Every structure is written in C-alpha cells, then in structure tokens.
Amino acid sequence: MQIRAKTAADVARALSAPRRTLSDFMALISPAAEAYLPQMAAEAERLTRQRFGNTIGFYVPLYLSNLCANDCTYCGFSMSNRLKRKTLNSEEIERECLAIKARGFDSVLLVTGEHEHKVGLAYFRQVMPIIRRHFSTVGMEVQPLSQDEYAELKTLGLDSVMVYQETYHAPTYARHHLRGNKRDIAWRLATPDRLGHAGIDKIGLGALIGLSSDWRADSYFVAEHLAWLERHHWQSRYSLSFPRLRPCTGGLEPAVVMSDRQLAQLICAWRLFSPTLDLSLSTRESATFRNGAVRLGITQMSAESRTQPGGYAEGDAEELEQFAIHDDRPVGEVAAAVRQAGLQPVFKDWEPFLGR
C-alpha cells in the first residue's frame, strides 16, 4: 500500500510543505511519521491557534430516539438488539432542552436511530422549531435524507449535518450492515454532496475507527472525499470526527486497535492537511486523552454526553443508550481542564446575522 511505503524523507517533505497534498497526508498518517509526532504536534498547534484562536467550542448530543430499522454489527441501536425503544415527544424534548441549557450549552447535535417512517421528516418538522428556540446552533446526525428534505430543514433552523461513512471499504461495509437502508453504501456516500447542494452551512465527515482492519486507508479516503467536496461545495464549512469503537449492546471487538499515540498522530495529520477544518473530539475518548489532545488541533468538544433519549432530564437509563461514553466528567470539570490548558471554552457560535 502506498501509505505504508512512505519514508522518513516523505514525512520531512510533507512537514516542510507550505500546503499539503493528499500524498503528503499519506506520509503524515504513515508508520514512518510516528517518529515525527513532536514536530507534527507543534505545527498542528501553531496552525490551529492561527486560524481558530485560543478557543474550544462546546456542544452536546441530544438523542431524540433509539428506534432503528437497520441491523449494524457495531451499534447499540441495531434493530436486532433487544433493548427498550423510546422516541421523545414534544414535552419530553422541552424538558431535555431545559436540562441541557441549565448545563450551559448553546449548541446541540440531534441524534436518532435511522427509522424514516417513525423518526423521519414529519417528526423533524415537528420537533425542530421546539429545539431551535433554545439553541443558537443546531446540528443533526440522523439517516441520510434527500436534497429537498435538507433544504426544508435548513429553513427550520438546521445549521449542520454529520454523516459518517463508517468505512469506505465496500466489502467491510457490506459485512457490518446486514439489513435496512444503511446497506446502500452509494446513497450514504453521496449524502454530503446533497448537503452541499442544499446549502447546509457545515458538513461533518468521518470513519469509524476499528470497523475496518486499516484505519489509515479509511482516513485517506475521508481526505479524498473532503478534497472533492471542497472543490464542488466551497460555500460550506466542514468538520471531521475520528470516533473509535466503544462498547455497546451487541457490539463487536475492533478489527484493529488504534493506540492513543496513533490517534494523536491522525489528529495532527488532519490539521496539517487542512488548517481550516473543524476537528471534533467526543466523550468516546478518555478524560486523560482529551486533556492532552486539546492543544493538538481540536476545535470542538462534547461534554457530559448522554447517548440515550431522555438522558439529561430523566437521568441515566443505560438500557436505552447507543454506546458507553468514556469521559463522564461534568461539563464544568471539562471546561476547567480546557482553561487549565490555556484555552477558552466557547458555548455559543456566531449569530446568523454576523454571516454564519
């Protein structure tokens, strides 16, 4: 593979390049680059501070439903798992919003299982105005929708959409998506393009690390995807996550275990490849890793996350959750750690009238 064939000379060349190419990104995620992590970290921090200042944006996921019509081997919401199912109604959503606001958040990511009939556009039409009243920024991570549906949700206040490909390796994708619409890899792969045509402000990409046996190859294809999107939909902003598999009901063991050092290398490589890209680190990672990685290039963090419907107002209900989080600190403690790193936690994004 070209990535593993990269040499120390290729890494040094990538580090000295004023603007990195896809070939440089290959070098920076290669085994040869592991010895260069201190230099990569220093440059990643410099580029991040230059573009984003000394800030870390805070957001929180708001799980609306764990209903799902897909059977995926790695997800707690999979239809084959025997767990309690719940979809929040308007009153429950209102309570969740108030509980989240009480924790200080002003940016939410709406999450559901993929069930287009019971948790589809009609449901989103109903709940989006309720949620939008409470928050300055609303994102969404749900089943892929059509261009027209995204355009309609934009008029209701949708700012961003995260749609993770999980893996770009078609045989591995087929092996882990057993039933449901998510089996259609082409429809999912084309979703960011539909988002760009719909004029969505921010588009989130990513691969699930540990699903395929080669995290480097999947990361490279994410970079290819991003480069294509930036050429065709330059009006949109982009964000990236790098989730590692976490324990969940019916979950599987990772096909490959990525070390913390390798994840740090990947974060730095992304910042060097794309100085303007939002890089997000979720509560899937440990408090220790997040405290150390916050200066490597990260621009957004979640905190005090609950991965089940009703998790904020009604308390913990583990039987409803998608996966077990790793960093369970209260948001105030996470914010204090960010300040201790010399950075400022930011809970509010730009207002629309300021050009967001």
Residue 309: inside a domain, yes or no?
Answer: yes
CA 139/CA 59 separation, integer angstroms: 10
Count of other CB atoms within 10 angstroms of residue 269: 27
Q: No. of H helices and E strands in the chain?
A: 13, 11
Helix (H, G, I), strand (E, B) or coil at 312: coil
Residue 184: inside a domain, yes or no?
Answer: yes
The maximal CA–CA distance of the chain, rounded, in angstroms, is 60
Residue 35: inside a domain, yes or no?
Answer: no
The mean pLDDT of 110-120, rounded to a whole number, is 91
CA 198/CA 248 separation, integer angstroms: 34
Give me the pLDDT at residue 1, please.
75
Sign for the CA dihedral angle at 123, 240, 224, 181 comes to negative
The total number of structural domains that make up the chain: 1
CA 94/CA 210 separation, integer angstroms: 36
Tens digit of pLDDT for each residue in 26-57? 999 999 999 999 999 999 999 999 999 999 99
Q: What are phi and psi of 349, to 5 degrees?
A: -85, 180
Residue 26: inside a domain, yes or no?
Answer: no
Residue 114 has pLDDT above 80, yes or no: yes
Q: Terminal CA-to-CA distance of the chain, rounded, Å?
A: 41
Tens digit of pLDDT for each residue in 151-162? 999 999 999 999
Residue 37: inside a domain, yes or no?
Answer: no
What is the number of alpha carbons within 13 Å of residue 249 lying toward its C-beta?
18
What is the number of alpha carbons within 13 Å of residue 88 lying toward its C-beta?
30
CA 199/CA 145 separation, integer angstroms: 14
DSSP 173-189: HHHHEEESGGG-HHHHH
The full length of the chain comes to: 356
Give me the pLDDT at residue 76, please.
78
Residue 163 has pLDDT above 90, yes or no: yes
Residue 159: inside a domain, yes or no?
Answer: yes
Q: Report the CATH number that the domain containing residue 239 is assigned in CATH.
A: 3.20.20.70
Max avg pLDDT among 254-258, 320-324, 346-350:
254-258
- Model pTM? 0.94
The mean pLDDT of 327-346, rounded to a whole number, is 96
Amino acid at 224: E
DSSP 121-163: HHHHHHHHHHHHTT-SEEEEE-S---HHHHHHHHHTT--EEE-
Residue 73: inside a domain, yes or no?
Answer: yes
Residue 193: inside a domain, yes or no?
Answer: yes
Question: Are 289 and 262 a contacting pair, CB within 8 Å?
Answer: no
Domain that residue 155 falls in? 51-347
